[in-house]
Structure 1
Amino acid sequence: MDLRRRSLLGAALVAPVAATAAAPAAPAAAGPARFDRRADRFALAVLPDTQYLFDADSADPAPLRATLRWLTAHRADANVAFLTHLGDITEHGTAAEIALADAAFRAVDGRLPYSVLAGNHDVPGSTDDQRGDSPYLRAFGPHRFAGAGTFGGASPDGYNSYHVVPAAGREWLVLALDWRASDSGLAWAQGVLDAHPTLPAILTTHDLAAADATGAARLSAHGKRLWDRLVRRNDQIFLTLNGHWWPPGRAVLTNDAGNDVHVHVTNYQDRYYGGAAMLRLYRFDLARGVIDVETFAPYLAGRAEPLAAETRELTSDVDRFSLAIDFDARFAGFAPVPAPPPRPPAAVMPRGTVAYWRFDDAGFDGTTARDLTGRGNDLTVTLLHGSPRAALTRSADHHPGAPAHASIRLDGGKAPDRGAVLRTGPAAPLNAATLRDGYTIEVFLKLPDPFAGDHAWMGVLSWEGRSGDAGKTTGWSPDEPTCSLNVSPERFLQYVVYPADTDADPTSWSHAVPVGRWLHVAVVNDARRTVMYVDGSPIARNPAQPARGIATLGRPFALGGTQFAGRYGQGFHGFLGDVRIVSRALTPREFLTPHR
C-alpha cells in the first residue's frame, strides 16, 4: 500500500490476448483436493496485501506458506472454489522478493485455482498496465495460470486476467485487474464481460475503495474511474474486492440497473506480523441466499503469545458478517432462471394415484376441481357460514416446481368464522379409502405475508367425521376428524391420523413454517409409520408409533378446512396449489416437485 495518490499514465490500443513468454511453473507435488462444484455452498478465498512479509532482507514467507497450506488442507471441507490475491504481494517488487513469493505460491499450483494481480508495490507505482516487462510479470504472468482449468485469458500486456470458476452448479467470472488499468485494459475487461454475458462477475483489483474508522467505504479516485467506466454499467458485477487501503470496510452502491453492488476493502498489513497473511473466506450459500464472511490468520492459530491471540481471528462487523443476497433475483437481469413449464396431468400421475387436483384451466372452473385421475373424486366449492364468493379466488401464483402454474387463494378467518372448502361428493371413492397398504398425500401451500389476524388451528385438508364415531378413544378429543393437516398458532404444521387398524393418534409436528413462501408438504405412510416432509426434508417430530392406513368413515374429503364435532369453523387462510394422493409410499425423488 502507498498512501500517496497515484496518477494514471498512458493508454494503449486493444490487441488480441497473448501470453507472456516465460518458463512454466513447476508442477505441484500432490494432486488437487476434492472440490464439489455441484454443492450449493462454496467458498471464495481472498488474500490481501502480504507486502511486509516480502520486504528485502526482513522477509518471512512462513505466514503465507501457512495460509496456503491451510487452503490446500481444507479445500474439500470448506469447498474452496478459488483463491484471489488482491495485490501488493511484495514491498518493493524486486526480483528477490518476487522469487520468494513465487516459491510460496508453488505450494498451490495445480492444487487450487487462483489469481494474482499487481499492486503498486509489485510494479513501478507510477505506471499502468502498459509498463512492459517486470519481475512480477515473469513470475505471475499468464503463463503461470495457463494450465489451470479456470483460466480464461489475459490482456495483451499480461497484467489483467480472468477466470471462469465453476461452483454451485453454475459458472462465476473473476476479473483480476491491474493496480492501474489503462484505457485499453478497461476495454479488454469490457470485452471479457461482453463475451460472458450471463456470468455473475466478481471484480478484484488493488485500489478501488477506502474506508474510514467506522468501516464505511467510499470509492477512491481511481475506484471512481473504475466504477464509472466499468462497474456501474455492467450489471453482472455484483461484488468488488480490493486491498491497498486500511482499515477494512464495506459499502453497497447502486448500479445503472438499480441493483446492489457490494464494495469491500480488505487489508491487514497494519496488524501484528504484517497481517500474518490474513485470509478472508466468502462462504456462498445459495440455498440460504447469503454470503457469510470470516477473517482469520492460519499462521497464528494455536499460538499463545498475546498479540497472536488477539489477531488470529477478527470479528468486527467489517471482518465477520453476512450478506443477504437473493441470487436468482440479483442475477435475473442478465441470467434469468428459466421457469419450468407446466407439466400435463398425465406426467404426474404415477402408479397408485387415487386423486389429483390442480387449479389451472385443465382442472378447475371456479366451482369444481376435477379429479384428473378420472376416478370420480371431484371437489366442489362450499362457502362456509355465508362467506362471500371472494373467500375463494383463483391465482396465477404458484410454487416454482408445481406442475400447474395456478393456485387458489382462500380467505378464511375467525370472529366471525368464514372461509371456503372444497369437498368430494357423497359417492366419491376417496371418502371410504383406508389406504392400508401405504399412502402419500402432497399439497403445495403458502401463508401470505403479512399473515395477520387469528388463524390458529386452521385446516389445510381433512376427512370429515368424528374420530369417536370410528371407535377411537385414545386421542385428544373424539370430536376431531380421523385425519387432518392443520396449522397451529405457532405456524407449526400438524398432521394427525387415526390409523385404520389401531386405536391411536400418531401426530407429526413440523417447525414454524415461513410466510410469503411456497412450501411443498408431503405425508408418507409405508403401512408401518408416518413421516411428514417439508420441501423434501423429513421433519424432526415424526412419531415412531405404528400407523397403518386411515380410519375413514365414508364422509367427504375436504380441502381448505378441518371439522370439529362435525362442524367447520374457520377456513384456511392462504394459497393452495396442486394436491395429489397416491396409494403407496413415495420417495422424495417421486414427489410432485422432485427432491434429491
Structure 2
Amino acid sequence: MNERYDGTSRRRLLQAGALGAGAVVTPGVFNAVTASATGPTGRIDTEHPQFTLAVVPDTQYQFDQDRGDAAPLTATFRYLIDQRTEQNIVFVAHLGDVVENALASEFAQADPVFRLLERARFPYSVLAGNHDIDGSKDDTRGPSPYLDTFNPRRFRWMPTYGGSTANGYNSYHVFRAAGRQWLLLAMDWRPSDASFAWARAVIKAHPKLPVILTIHELVNADHGNPVAYFSAHGNRVWDQLVDGNDQIFLTLNGHYWPPGRVTRKNAAGNDVHLHITNYQDRYYGGSGMVRLYHFDLARNTIDVETISPWIMAQDPARRNELAEAEIELSDDTNRFSVPIDFAARFAGFAPEPVRPARPAKQLVIPGTAAYWRFDGPVTDKVLDHSGHANDLTRVQLSNDLPTASAEYHPDQPGHASWLFPGGKNPARGGYLKTVDNAPLNAMTFPDGYTIEAFVKLANDGQDHAWEGLFTRLGTGRDAAKTGSDPDEPAAKLGFSGGLQVQWAVYPVDRNETFTNWGHEQRAGEWFHLAIVNDGRHSVVYVDSSELLRNPATPSNGLATAGKPWLVGAGHYANEIDQAFAGHIGELRVVARALKPAQFLNA
C-alpha cells in the first residue's frame, strides 16, 4: 500500500484545530469566513448541503491511435472547471477505458487533457479499464503505459488523495462536502484478492465515512430494460467488497452500455445504489458526456443529469442533427433522482450526534419575559425559568390528562415534551394558563416581541381545526377593541383546519385584528415556530425560515385585558372551545425582536 495519509493530512488537522471542524477542506487555500476551498479557477463550499460529483465514463474512442479527437473531453473538463463554483463540483471521477488500445501514444494524447484539471487544482480519480491495460490479467499485471501516465505520483499533489495499492492500480480519495468527509474508491478492471483486502482495510480505517465505489465493471443493462444486473465479475465485486461493507452506498461503473441502475440490499439490510453509465456507442464516441450527481443533503436526494458540454458549446446554427439529439439526455435512465435519507442510511456507521441538552438558564437571554419547558413529569404547575414568576397552572377539561414524553425536536434545548390529548365537540383534554398575577398578563410589548415554540401536531386523524397553541384570554372587546369580531381572542397563535399557522392579534395601535398566515404544517413532524415583531411588523418563521403571508401594514404591541395567557388552548368569547392535540416541547417569550441566529433552535 502506497500510503500518503489517512485522508486528513497533519497540515489540515492543524487547520481544523485552529479554525474549527469546518475548516477541513479539499483542494486549495482555506477561506475561514466562507468555509470553502479556493483554487485558481473558483471556490467550492465544503459545508453547503448541496454539492456535485462529476462522473466521466469511457472516453476510449476519443484516444484511438490516429482516429480520435480530444476535443469532447477537453470541453467537458473546461466546463467542469468553469462550473466548479456555481455547481459546487467537489470531485471528478473517471470510470476507466481512458483510451482504446492501451498504447503509450494514446496516453500521450490523453495526458494533456487531464493536465487541465491539474492546472486548475481540481481533484480527480481515474482507474484502468480493460482497454487501458492487458485486460486478460488482474492488477498484478506489472508496468503498463497506463501506469506510466496515471501512477500514484501523479495524484500526490491532491489534498484528497489517500493512497494506492502497492501495484499502483487502485487508489482512494477522501474529499469534504456537505460538512462531512466522503471516501471514494477507484478500483481496477480486475482487482486481485489482495487489492480487495486493501480496499476493505481502507474502509475499516475510515469507519465513519460513507463510501462511493468506482470500478470499470460491476453491473450491466439491456436495451429496452434499464434495470441493471450483475455481470459475473460484478458478483465477485459484490461478494468480496460491497455486500459486507455497509459504508458503500453508491457504486458507479462503465464498460457496458446502455446505461441502467438497480438498488440491492446489502448484508446489513440497507440499500446500495448501483449505476452503469457509458455512452461510447453514441454519436462521436459519446460526445464527452458527463454525469453530474447533484447531492442535496437538505432534500435527502441525489439529482442526476447527463450532458455533453462539447455539444453545448457549439454554435446552434452550425450544430448537426446528430449532435442536436445529444446535448442533454433527458430520458428516465439518464436524468433521474435518487431519494436517500442520508442520516438514516449512514446511521449504522456514522450516526448523527444528538445535540446535547442545554440548561434553561443558558436560554434566559436579555428581554426574556417567560420561558417554560416541558421536560419533566406532568405536574399541576410549570415554573417560569425567566425568573419573572409567570408560572403556569394546569386546567383539565376532561379526564384525558397530558402525559410526559421522551420525544423532542432535535434542536430543542430540553430533551422531552408533554403530549396533550386535546379535542373538541365537546372540548376535552387540558391546558395550562398563567397565574392570575403573572406580569406577562399585563404586558403590551411596545418595543416588539418574539414568541417561540417547539411543536408536533397530533397525527390522529381527528378534526383539530382552529386549535390554539398560545392564546391570550380576554377578547378584543375586553381590551376595548370593537373592530373585526370583538369576541375573538386578543391574541391567538393556532392552526387552521388545513394545519396552517395563524397568528391573529389585536395590536395596541389598531382597532381591528391583524393576521399572519403560514403554510400547511405536517402532522406528526416536529418543527420550531417563531413569531417575531420589531415594533411595526410581525413575521412568522418555521424552522428559522421566514414565511410569506405577513402583513405589510404597520402594527404595534399586543392589546390586553389583563387576563392570563393559555398554553395549549384557544377560546371564543372567553369560552374554551378546544384544547391542543400534540406535543409541546418548550415555549419562550422575549420582549424584543430576535434574529433567527438567536432562536432556541440556533
- TM-score, scaled to structure 1: 0.92
**Of 272, 279, 300, which aligns to 2:290?**
279
Of the candidates 574, 588, 594, which is equivalent to residue 586 of structure 1? 594
Structure 1 residue 299: deviation in Å?
1.1
| Counterpart pick for 1:115 among 110, 120, 125 | 125
Does residue 89 in structure 1 map to residue 98 in structure 2?
yes
5 Å matches for 1:340-489?
340-361=355-376, 365-384=378-397, 387-390=398-401, 392-448=402-458, 450-475=459-484, 477-489=485-497
Aligned residues of 1:178 and 1:205 also touching (Cα < 8 A): yes
State whether residues 3 and 162 of structure 2, in contact with CA within 8 Å, keep that contact through their aligned partners in structure 1: no
Q: Which residue of 2 aligns with 1:222?
A: 233
Aligned to 2:148: 138
Task: Tell me the secondary structure at the aligned position of residue 58 of structure 1.
Answer: coil
| 8 Å CA contact retained: 1:498, 1:504 | yes
CA distance in 2, matches of 1:182, 1:104: 30
State the AA in 1 paired with 2:241.
L
Query: 1-side partners of 2:310 and 2:42: how far apart?
Result: 21
Is the Cα–Cα contact under 8 Å of residues 295 and 302 in structure 2 kept in the other structure? yes
Contact 1:370 1:378 (8 Å CA) reproduced:
yes
Partner of 1:260: 271
1:527 to 528, 535, 545: 535
In structure 1, what is the Cα distance between the partners aligned to 2:3 and 2:405?
A: 53
Q: CA deviation at 1:250?
A: 0.9
Q: Which one is further off, 245-254 or 408-417?
A: 408-417
How far residue 78 of structure 1 moved from its aligned partner, in angstroms, is 0.2
AA matched with 1:367: D
2:576 aligns with: 568
Tell me which amino acid in the other structure corresponds to 1:417.
A
In structure 2, distance between residues paired with 1:165 and 1:516 = 36
Distance 1:142 1:321 in 2: 34
**Partner Cα separation in structure 1 for residue 579 and residue 40 of structure 2:** 61
Superposition deviation, residue 365 in structure 1? 3.9
Instruction: Spell out the pairing of 1:145-184 with structure 2 (5 A cutoff).
Output: 145-184=155-194
Deviates more, 1:509-518 or 1:323-332: 509-518
- SS of equivalent residue, structure 1 residue 39: coil
Residues of 2 paired with 1:55 and 1:37: CA distance? 37
Per-residue CA shift, 1:352-398, capped at 9, x if unaligned? 1111111123xx543322112232211122222xx2234x2111100
How far off is 1:287 after superposition? 1.0
CA contact (8 A) 1:413 1:571 kept: yes
Structure with the larger strand share: 2
Please state how far the C-alpha of 1:514 moved relative to its aligned partner. Answer: 2.4
Which residue identity is paired with 1:119? G
Q: CA offset at residue 456 of structure 1?
A: 1.5
Q: Which runs of 5+ in 2 are unaligned?
A: 6-27, 29-38
Q: Is the contact between residue 221 and residue 256 of structure 2 (CA under 8 Å) also seen in structure 1?
A: yes
Identity among equivalent positions (%) equals: 52
SS for the counterpart of 1:108 is: helix
> Partner letter of residue 125 of structure 1?
G
Per-residue CA deviations over 1:86-137 (Å, capped at 9, x if unaligned) read 0111111111111111111111114211101110011111011111111111
Look up the equivalent residue of 1:593 and give its one-letter code. Answer: N
- 8 Å Cα contact 1:207-1:244 kept in structure 2: yes
Rounded to whole Å, the distance in 1 between the matches of 2:467 and 2:378 is 25
Range 86-95 or range 508-517, more displaced: 508-517
Unaligned runs of 5+ in 1: 1-14, 20-26
| 3-state SS in 2 of match to 1:465 | strand
The letter for the 2-side match of 1:98 is F
The answer as to whether partners of 2:4 and 2:162 remain within 8 angstroms in 1 is: no
Q: Note if contact 1:366-1:394 (Cα within 8 Å) is conserved in structure 2.
A: no
CA distance in 2, matches of 1:526, 1:259: 49
How big is the shift at 1:412? 2.0
CA distance in 1, matches of 2:558, 2:141: 79
What is the aligned partner in structure 1 of residue 79 from structure 2? Answer: 70
- 1:42 corresponds in structure 2 to 51
The superposition leaves residues 393-415 of structure 1 with CA deviations (integer Å, 9 ceiling, x where unpaired) of 11110001111001111222334
Distance in 2 (alpha carbons) for counterparts of 1:47 and 1:515:
43
Letter aligned with residue 553 of structure 2: Q
- State whether residues 101 and 131 of structure 2, in contact with CA within 8 Å, keep that contact through their aligned partners in structure 1: yes
| Alignment of 1:236 onto 2:247 | yes
Aligned pair 1:54/2:69, yes or no?
Answer: no
Contact kept? 1:236, 1:331, Cα under 8 Å: yes
1:551 aligns with 2:559: yes
Give the aligned length: 564
